[in-house]
């Protein structure tokens, strides 16, 4: 990989030009010149510089995420080529959102552990944003719009969302034809998930209100929707099978949530360790053909 790309990753990881210079065995002036050269080559600023702090631009964040994904892919490719996958061993503690973990991570772990029998895997199902160091977590699967500063991430999959309800609910309450009619219906959302942002042909609207049932569980929202309690805004990965078998049906299908959320593999440092990189590459491959992508 281009050395300037690797230097950019190190700057983001360490949070300053001086720290990146020390880690690279060079000077801050040299690091600054190489970063400026890289920005000229790419035709866009990558880092915002002030006298007090350094932060990636939006383009810098995307470029950093892409580079981290490439590094993880290169590591996995090397292991496949050399047959070193079986040599990857040691602890790997992963934290995963509860519902996503149950539906899409846990069922795949048997195949992963068959491929990497030396990995000592620990999986925590947790909907909170776990702190890496206190919890000794190596990798976190998170559904979010962006990655917190100081952490690195690889994008695993998109996260499209749609409005849906059970046929029984719509038969009883009627099918809303507009967003204005939607607000008169029984809405379902976990605590903090309203208002909803919906878009159609570039237009973004807010749907405000309160949930018909108060809950801290997204899984509860899904089950309440299936049993006819109201209309919910759900991720395709969460309700895809229910839509396929008719237990839920789309509502106001022309309106969907903006694609601002994604499914990320998040880790401390510039690159994941070998065990984490192996799981990231495994999940990326597993999710490619999922209908909810």
**Above 60 in pLDDT, residue 133?**
no
Which of 208, 136, 137 lies closest to 179, judged by CA? 208
CATH fold of the domain at 3-56: Arc Repressor Mutant, subunit A (1.10.10)
Return the percentage of the chain with pLDDT > 90, whole number.
47
Using DSSP bridges, classify how beta strands 196-200 and 119-125 pair: parallel, antiparallel or unpaired. unpaired
The torsion region of residue 32 among left (phi > 0), alpha (psi -120 to 50) and beta comes to alpha
Intrachain domains 86-158+261-287 and 161-250 with the same fold: yes
* Rounded CA separation 253/200 (Å): 10
List helix spans (H) across the chain.
3-14, 17-24, 28-42, 58-82, 98-100, 109-115, 132-135, 167-173, 179-182, 218-226, 236-244, 274-287
The pLDDT mean for the chain works out to: 86
pLDDT of the residue at 92: 93
* Rounded CA separation 28/23 (Å): 11
* Rounded CA separation 278/29 (Å): 36
Assigned token pair, 281:
């590459």
**Using DSSP, how many helices (H) and how many strands (E) does the chain show?**
12, 13
Domain boundaries along the sequence of the chain: 3-56, 86-158+261-287, 161-250
Span 86-158+261-287 CATH architecture: 3-Layer(aba) Sandwich (3.40)
Q: Quick: pLDDT tens for 22-66.
A: 877 888 899 999 999 999 999 999 988 765 667 788 888 888 878
Q: Quick: pLDDT tens for 110-127.
A: 999 998 999 999 999 987
* Rounded CA separation 247/90 (Å): 43
Span 161-250 CATH architecture: 3-Layer(aba) Sandwich (3.40)
Return the percentage of the chain with pLDDT > 70, whole number.
90
Sign of torsion over alpha carbons 72, 76, 82, 85: positive
Task: Reduce the DSSP state of residue 66 to 3 states and report it.
Answer: helix
Using DSSP bridges, classify how beta strands 139-144 and 262-268 pair: parallel, antiparallel or unpaired. antiparallel
For 101, residues 6+ apart whose C-beta sits below 8 A from its C-beta are 123, 125, 141
pLDDT of the residue at 131: 64
* pTM recorded for the entire structure: 0.69
Which of 98, 95, 76, 94 lies closest to 85, judged by CA? 76
pLDDT confidence tier of residue 242, bands split at 50, 70 and 90: very high
């Amino acid at each position: 990989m281009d050395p300037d790309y690797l230097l950019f990753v190190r700057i983001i990881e360490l949070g300053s030009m001086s720290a990146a210079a020390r880690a690279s065995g060079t000077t801050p002036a040299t690091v600054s010149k190489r970063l400026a050269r890289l920005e000229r080559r790419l035709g866009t600023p990558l880092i915002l510089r002030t006298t007090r702090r350094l932060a990636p631009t939006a383009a810098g964040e995307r470029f950093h995420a892409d580079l981290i994904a490439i590094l993880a892919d290169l590591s996995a490719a090397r292991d496949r080529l050399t047959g070193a996958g079986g040599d990857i061993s040691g602890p790997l503690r992963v934290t995963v959102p509860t519902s996503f973990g149950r539906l899409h991570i846990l069922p795949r772990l048997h195949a992963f552990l068959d491929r990497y029998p030396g990995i000592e895997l620990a999986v925590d199902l947790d909907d909170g944003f776990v702190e890496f160091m206190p919890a000794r977590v190596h990798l976190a699967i998170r559904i979010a719009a962006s990655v917190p500063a100081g952490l690195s991430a690889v994008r695993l999959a998109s996260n499209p969302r749609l409005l849906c309800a059970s046929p029984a609910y719509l038969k009883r309450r009627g099918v809303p034809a507009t967003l204005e009619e939607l607000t008169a219906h029984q809405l379902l959302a976990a605590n903090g998930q309203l208002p909803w942002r919906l878009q159609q042909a570039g237009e973004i609207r807010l749907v405000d209100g309160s949930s018909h049932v108060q809950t801290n569980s997204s899984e509860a929202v899904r089950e309440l929707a299936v049993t006819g309690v109201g209309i919910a805004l759900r991720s395709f990965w969460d309700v895809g099978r229910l839509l396929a078998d008719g237990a839920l049906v789309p509502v106001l299908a022309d309106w969907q949530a903006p694609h601002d959320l994604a499914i990320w593999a998040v880790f401390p440092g510039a690159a994941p360790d070998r065990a984490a990189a192996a799981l990231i590459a495994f999940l990326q491959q597993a999710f490619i053909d999922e209908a909810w992508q």
